[in-house]
Structure 1
């Protein structure tokens, strides 16, 4: 039986997702523009494929939802699950907080991870005070107050981390760049209304593949699905009429969160003119521990 959603064909395939480690933090600031700068600064540049970290803004929250009564943003920082993931996460969190948040005026960071595992922010962030920082209890939490030239930076001392699922994805085969942008924007926007998930690339324009002619630079373009190579290579997998294939990559605190987010993206995009087919990226099971079948998602979440 052919799969479809709102009249749009859905390829009977799966995406590969993998186990990852995330830390969910709450950033607050005095003004909205400062909050946005800190949130986007600290979550930019996905780079888990290079053994580093990636992040995304889950959502913005009201002053009624933050410990200090200021505007807030929930952000997630992810690293690949490995033998030394704790040291990698601490190093990566430190870089993103120190260079992306601490340097933005009036910002504070609080733990937003439900977990019984924590790392001590005093070690890699608090010591930015060069020994002049101090610990205090504020808003019912243990925090470190770091003196800085603008005033002070406050961070909750213990930041939690937990295991989640990263790399869930959906692909949209579109008849133009315009329809691809519309579809990608709709998918990213609908994810902003969901808790516990992020899309670290937003609209990803350049899906990659594990094998490459140049391993020294890391993953390279997934040439099978590059529309400009159709007719130039014998093994192109781009259907007739397709001019652009955006990818939405999803990380979630649970496998269920990722699956639901994939369906929500598929459903909203299937209503957009110019979307010719919906699919997902996999690499024959070489990359991830989890296979998420689109057929199963449609059966589980479809009406």
Structure 2
């Protein structure tokens, strides 16, 4: 494949903490609902937990023989108490409430750091919860109105990498949507990687005129501001849309493999004019990776 459309530029990535989990349920619809609901609102940039759906497993690949979704939940700092507190909202409000769901730790690392699930999820049973040994795991059984929700007793906290990204500059809205679908599908084929924002239509920047609301628009790359900004606009001629793809992954190899798969998918569409990446002159992340290097 030709990479003439890919700019000689870099993205910035940084270390983060993640929990990798497996949600199972009685059918594909319920599992996907739990997975996508619990990983919605990517918000690490404002100090909250963000998540992404890594992929799906059939009944032969899960501990309880049911359809499953592999999900990742991330925090960009080392505050484990905060991580656990924020994660509890995702699990209690978006997974526990789905009928007949179950959630397992799905880590493959040898990490000895854990989040105990009894205090943050198990006690939803209001003191009536209990621990059982099933599926080769210690599971907390939480009695609820549609009996019963189960969650593994401990989830490992792992070290991973966040923030890898690329932008695909588009001429048409069709290119944004069709290439975007293909990009996300390609990333989901890579084990260990996830795209927490999906196709993201808003690139941000560190500096802002409104710090109280967090990151604001990267105005240099807003096509609708090209005429207003004049010479300082960085939107190339013929580009009308600049979506961003962000990748978090269990390691750098998985991240780079996922980004390459996404870029390869994007370049198959005629409406994609150019590939670039979002960076802040190396000020955001300590890992600066050139796009061309991951495409070799």
Query: Which residue of 107, 124, 134 maps to 1:113?
Result: 107
Q: Is the 8 A contact 1:8 1:270 kept in 2?
A: no
Question: Greater shift after overlay, 177-186 or 93-102?
Answer: 177-186
Question: Which of 236, 242, 245 is the matching residue for 2:242?
Answer: 245
Q: Match for residue 211 of structure 1?
A: 207
Q: Report how far residue 100 of structure 1 moved.
A: 0.5
Distance 1:260 1:70 in 2: 29
Deviations 1:209-267 (A, max 9, x none): 01111111100011000111112103100000001011100000001111111111111
The C-alpha deviation readout for 1:53-86, integer Å capped at 9, x for no partner, is: 110110110111111111111000000123x2x1
286, 292, 296: which one aligns with 1:289:
286
Aligned partners of 2:190 and 2:257 also within 8 Å? no
Give CA-to-partner distance per residue, 1:25-80, whole Å, 9 cap, x none. 00000121111111111101011111111101101101111111111110000001
Partner of 1:233: 229
Summarize the alignment of residues 91-106 of structure 1 with structure 2, pairs less than 5 Å apart: 91-106=85-100
CA distance in 1, matches of 2:70, 2:4: 34
CA distance, structure 2, for counterparts of residue 238 and residue 220 of structure 1: 17
Aligned mates of 2:294, 2:42 — CA distance in 1: 26
Match of 1:231, SS state, is: helix
Report the Cα distance in structure 2 between the residues aligned to 1:191 and 1:101, rounded to whole angstroms. 24
Structure 1: segments with no counterpart, 5+ residues: none
**Aligned twin of 2:251:** 254
Matches of 1:47 and 1:56, distance apart in 2? 11
Shift of 1:295: 2.1
Does residue 262 of structure 2 align to residue 265 of structure 1?
Answer: yes
**What is the deviation of 1:298?**
2.2
Could you tell me which of 72, 94, 102 is aligned with 2:68? Answer: 72
Shift of 1:7: 5.6
After TM superposition, give the deviation of residue 6 of structure 1 in Å: 2.3
Distance in 2 (CA, whole Å) between partners of 1:151 and 1:74 is 23
Alpha-carbon deviations, 1:87-145, whole Å to 9, x = none? 12211221100000000110001000123321111111011111100011111111110
Aligned residues: 293
| 5+ long unaligned stretches in structure 2 | none
Question: 1:141-174: CA deviations, max 9, x gaps?
Answer: 1111010011111011011110100110011111
Q: Secondary structure at the match of 2:199?
A: coil
Superposition CA RMSD, Å: 1.1
TM-score (norm 2): 0.97
Which position in structure 1 is the counterpart of 2:150?
154
Contact kept? 1:22, 1:161, Cα under 8 Å: yes
- C-alpha distance in structure 2 between counterparts of 1:158 and 1:7, whole Å: 45
Counterpart CA distance in 2 for 1:297 and 1:35 is 33
Answer yes or no: is 1:137 the counterpart of 2:99. no
